[in-house]
Amino acid sequence: MTFSENIASTFIGALLAFVLGIIAFYITENIRGGKAKRRLTTSFLKELDYNIKLINQQINAITENVEAMAQNKRPILKGISFKNYQRTHLDQYYLHGFAFDNLTPEDVLKFSIVLDYVSGSSIDMINKLLHDWNNNEAPANAATLIMDERDFLNQIALQYNEVYMKLKNA
């Protein structure tokens, strides 16, 4: 074998090894990315399930409060709180760019609405009405206002269930 043949065979071998290395890298990264997405989706589904249960607990607490108000019972002891609402995996789902893989912009908007609600003044308003009710200072339409918030939470729970099923079946 001549010197030029040795150089050519070495060059071809190195080039082939380089190309195969790049192909192997992309294959392994694709596999890792798929596993990470599945793992994050599973965690996100568990978080959604937890949040749906939390929302339903708050709906039940509101219903019990309204029933107590209808029976003119005092004091009402069940306040409304979303301090245990979880969003860690939701944030990660967005950060990794998975949110729009299986969800529509309308689905993503539902999360924004819920995040605004659970961190907003609606919960404070409900708790203030309940506090005022206990102190005989609530307006006459307090129960109606609270029921409106309960109906909105019911709507949120239904929308969350839709998104949960969409992700679970994706």
Cα–Cα dist 160/63, whole Å: 20
* pLDDT, tens only, 43-78: 888 988 998 898 898 889 888 888 888 888 777 767
pLDDT at 33 over 70: no
The least confident of 31-35, 42-46, 49-53, 90-94 is 31-35
Closest CA to 133 of 80, 59, 92: 80
Average pLDDT, the chain: 83
Cα–Cα dist 46/44, whole Å: 5
Q: What is the dihedral of CA 38, 40, 44, 46, to 10 degrees?
A: 70
* pLDDT, tens only, 116-166: 887 777 788 888 888 887 888 878 888 888 888 889 889 888 888 888 888
